[in-house]
């Protein structure tokens, strides 16, 4: 039987931390292609500038000064964790065979967490409020001369999303308050070790996922075909800021889940149609496939 010592526990912690990092390094997330990531310094971040799309206007007379508090958007950071206990008898008996692989898996999951949060924010944007008080995907975004819509809820297909990703801000916002990290209790006098015989190990992270400008995204549950794609694209091209100024946006990415991947490839990756004529939509947008979406 091995004697549990501070040196042994520190060695286990170092090895497990390496396993966790190995898992982190294996994952290649895709959320940054449509997400603006910001470093957060507090539990709740407030974004007051989101009410005004960045456009220059002709300066006539006094400047029109917009106040940051006019349309404040608050985004809360949530805590995420995974925790397990290793019994001291398993350490004494050197019975840790599967722990390195399991902890490496935690690292993989923690690296994929921003992906999961960003895609969930996109998928649930029709249920979550953005800076103007409406849901991010909504048909009643207030404008200078009425309302505007960035959603088509007709049809019964799984949702697909058109996005503008080439601007300085991307449509989804991800706050990183605390990067994923590994921790292990190595204090032999810890009260839980005395009470249960377990040394706790785990990972923690803190993130918040939300939205920037609704004009940068469009959600549709209509069948993904040429007519419905062009209707969504043209609606985005007609978007204005909240004072009616044209934004001249053009979507460059379509995000599809499992059920729409084949249709997206048919529309945008075939250079010629069945009859041999050129496909006018060939490579018009990039396809971002995610198995996190249905």
**pLDDT for the residue 65:** 54
Q: pLDDT truncated to tens, each residue of the chain (294 aa)?
A: 889 999 999 999 999 999 999 999 999 999 999 999 999 999 999 987 666 676 666 676 765 555 444 567 899 999 999 999 999 999 999 999 899 999 999 999 999 999 999 999 999 999 999 998 999 999 999 887 889 999 999 888 999 999 999 999 999 999 999 999 999 999 999 999 999 999 999 999 999 999 999 999 999 999 999 999 999 999 999 998 877 888 999 999 999 999 999 999 999 999 998 888 999 999 999 999 999 999
SS (H, E, C) 5-32: CHHHHHHHHHHHHHHHHHHHHHCCCCHH
* Chain length of the chain: 294
Which residues is 82 bridged to in the sheet?
203
Look at the block and give the residue holding tokens 């010629």.
272
Q: Are 76 and 44 in contact (CB under 8 A)?
A: yes
Spatial CB neighbours of 269, under 8 Å, sequence gap ≥ 6? 282, 283, 287
Q: Where are the domains of the chain?
A: 6-56+68-289
Query: Would you identify the CATH topology of the domain 6-56+68-289?
Result: Major capsid protein gp5 fold (3.30.2400)
């Amino acid at each position: 039987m091995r004697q549990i010592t501070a040196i042994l526990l520190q060695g286990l912690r170092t090895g497990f931390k390496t396993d966790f990092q190995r898992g982190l390094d294996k994952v290649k997330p895709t959320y940054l292609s449509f997400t603006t990531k910001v470093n957060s310094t507090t539990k709740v971040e407030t974004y007051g500038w989101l009410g005004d799309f960045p456009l220059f206007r002709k300066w006539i007379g006094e400047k029109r000064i917009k106040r940051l508090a006019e349309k404040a958007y608050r985004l809360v950071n949530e805590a995420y964790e995974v925790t397990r206990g290793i019994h001291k008898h398993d350490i004494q008996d050197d019975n840790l065979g599967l722990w390195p692989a399991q902890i490496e898996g935690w690292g993989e999951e923690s690296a994929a967490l921003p992906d999961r949060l960003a895609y969930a924010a996109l998928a649930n944007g029709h249920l979550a409020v953005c800076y103007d008080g409406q849901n991010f995907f909504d048909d009643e975004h207030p404008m200078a001369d009425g309302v505007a819509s960035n959603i088509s809820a007709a049809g019964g297909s799984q949702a697909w999303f058109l996005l503008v990703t080439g601007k300085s801000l991307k449509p989804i916002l991800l706050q990183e308050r605390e990067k994923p990290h590994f921790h292990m209790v190595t204090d032999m006098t810890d009260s839980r070790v005395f009470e249960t015989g377990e040394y706790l190990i785990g990972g923690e992270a803190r993130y918040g996922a939300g939205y920037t400008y609704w004009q940068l995204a469009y959600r549709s549950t209509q069948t993904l075909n040429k007519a419905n794609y062009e209707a969504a694209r043209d609606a985005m091209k007609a978007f204005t800021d909240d004072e009616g100024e044209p934004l001249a946006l053009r979507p460059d990415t379509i995000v599809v889940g499992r059920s729409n991947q084949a249709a997206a490839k048919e529309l945008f990756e075939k250079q010629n149609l069945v009859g041999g004529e050129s496909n006018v939509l060939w490579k018009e947008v990039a396809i971002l496939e995610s198995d996190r979406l249905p």
